[in-house]
């Protein structure tokens, strides 16, 4: 009987000693969902006090410990979970960033608006927090960034992949630039890639190069009996992708210890920078900024998805404002006794409706119409185009309908100039006609080849 009691006590002691190590291993496993080790999976023993152990919370609940950090940089550092790499490319990029303090200062100043939100979303999903630094590489945290392959926004989505992740792109907005929508889409895409490859470095390579390209590279190395980790596949990658993960590693190193590289990071309070305000009626962008007591540039920095001088209203439309400015917005809105929107739409029914004639009809100037609709100089609107024009009567005070918003297109062609040639007319310089379609897609499409990233361009 005594022997059985001794063996039981010894087993209980052993389990009690092992439990913290088991939990620590779970905490440190990169990419492992926080909810994958329920309490019921822990060994049961009279000597094991489960309540004293640190157990990860479900991924949907942000750990309260995150809010004990003094700033957002601390939260990012504490959540690093992607294995480090250390090679010549990393050293090269660390040196590049470290010798450009002005660039780091500008980029981190822009990042200060968005990082709290991005880190919070990563923690909710149980994803590595260094992914919050990826916009350093993609766009330098500029939501207005546009690549040569028409990849747009902080996370750099091309139009097709943006639509794959439900990022709306129409004549009035481009959610590839929207802070909330594009961050949600980017993290969803990154998690999908991690689930596909089981490796964050390969997931990042696929985010840049395309999952099909990474899969082909893996199969090629497998056929040759070679390893399939990122560094082993790097020689098969284009230069941009080969440098992509080392660039992120370089930024990780600098954020981990900026003083080591002679750099200072701006303090970013560990509190939300902005809050979302519902908006259900049309409002001019300049009026919204005025009511919030923000400059137009600051308003656009938080709401870069809106492409026109009027923000169309529906139950899903939100604008982002710093919290104190949101309070001012509501107060000023309640006292605003004027029209919130000074714009409406007009459909071009005939090519004879020149911009000059339209300007006269709507009591404005040709330049105002061109700027509001992104119409180049020396170009004519095609029949069927829907453009913004100033409201000229109270009968035009009805909001722009969702149907018009979804289907509005602007198409134009080069202005014809009279000549003395036999034809009598010639096309203006270039002689090109813009493709019809949503304003955001007026530019000719950039062909996608097998070496172009699926979601962004070089």
Write down the residue that tokens 């980029």 correspond to.
107
Judge residue 223's burial from the number of C-beta atoms within 10 Å of its C-beta, 0-12 exposed, 13-18 middle, 19 or more buried: exposed
**For residue 418, what is the enclosing H or E element?**
strand 416-418
Q: Bridge partners of 169?
A: 174
How far is residue 288's CA from residue 321's CA, in Å, rounded to a whole number? Answer: 10
Active site (catalytic) residues: 138
How far is residue 365's CA from residue 355's CA, in Å, rounded to a whole number? Answer: 9
How far is residue 159's CA from residue 169's CA, in Å, rounded to a whole number? Answer: 8
How far is residue 373's CA from residue 249's CA, in Å, rounded to a whole number? Answer: 42
Instruction: At 61, list the tokens.
Output: 């609940």
344 to each of 40, 276, 354, 368, how far by Cα in Å? 61, 25, 18, 14
361 HSE (CA, 13 A, CB side): 9
Q: How far is CA 214 from the centre of its chain?
A: 22
418 HSE (CA, 13 A, CB side): 0
Of 90, 436, 100, the C-alpha closest to 262 is 100
């Amino acid at each position: 009987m005594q022997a059985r009691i001794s063996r039981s006590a010894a087993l209980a002691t052993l389990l009690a000693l092992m439990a913290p190590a088991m939990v620590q291993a779970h905490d440190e496993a990169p990419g492992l969902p926080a909810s994958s080790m329920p309490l019921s999976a822990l060994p049961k023993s009279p000597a094991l006090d489960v309540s004293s152990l640190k157990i990860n919370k479900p991924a949907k609940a942000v750990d309260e410990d995150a809010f004990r950090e003094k700033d957002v940089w601390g939260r990012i550092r504490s959540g690093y979970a992607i294995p480090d790499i250390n090679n010549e490319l990393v050293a090269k990029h660390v040196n590049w960033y470290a010798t450009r303090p002005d660039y780091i200062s500008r980029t981190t100043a822009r990042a200060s608006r968005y990082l709290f939100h991005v880190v919070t979303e990563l923690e909710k999903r149980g994803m590595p927090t260094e992914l919050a630094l990826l916009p350093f590489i993609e766009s330098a945290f500029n939501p207005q960034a546009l690549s040569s392959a028409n990849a747009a926004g902080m996370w750099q989505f091309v139009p097709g992949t943006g639509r794959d992740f439900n990022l709306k792109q129409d004549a009035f907005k481009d959610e590839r630039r929207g802070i909330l929508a594009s961050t949600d889409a980017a993290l969803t895409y990154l998690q999908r890639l991690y689930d596909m490859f089981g490796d964050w470095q390969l997931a990042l390579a696929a985010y840049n190069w395309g999952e099909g390209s990474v899969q082909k590279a893996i199969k090629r190395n497998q056929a040759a009996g070679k390893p399939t980790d990122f560094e082993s596949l790097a020689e098969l990658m284009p230069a941009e992708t080969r440098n992509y993960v080392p660039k992120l590693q370089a930024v990780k190193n600098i954020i981990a210890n900026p003083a080591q590289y002679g750099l200072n990071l701006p303090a970013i309070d560990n509190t939300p920078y902005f809050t979302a305000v519902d908006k259900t009626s049309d409002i001019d962008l300049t009026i919204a900024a005025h009511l919030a007591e923000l400059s137009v540039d600051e308003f656009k920095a938080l709401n870069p998805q809106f492409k026109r001088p009027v923000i169309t209203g529906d139950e899903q439309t939100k604008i982002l404002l710093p919290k104190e400015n949101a309070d001012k917005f509501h107060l000023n809105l309640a006292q605003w006794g004027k029209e919130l929107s000074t714009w409406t739409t007009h459909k071009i029914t005939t090519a004879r409706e020149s911009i000059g004639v339209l300007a006269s009809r709507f009591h404005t100037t040709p330049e105002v119409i061109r700027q509001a609709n992104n119409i180049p100089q020396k170009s004519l609107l095609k029949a069927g185009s829907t453009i913004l024009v100033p409201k000229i009567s109270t009968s035009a005070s009805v909001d722009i309908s969702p149907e018009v918003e979804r289907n509005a297109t602007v198409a134009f062609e080069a202005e014809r100039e009279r000549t003395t040639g036999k034809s009598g007319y010639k096309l203006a310089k270039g002689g090109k006609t813009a493709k019809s379609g949503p304003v955001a897609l007026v530019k000719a499409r950039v062909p996608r080849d097998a070496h172009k990233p699926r979601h962004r361009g070089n």
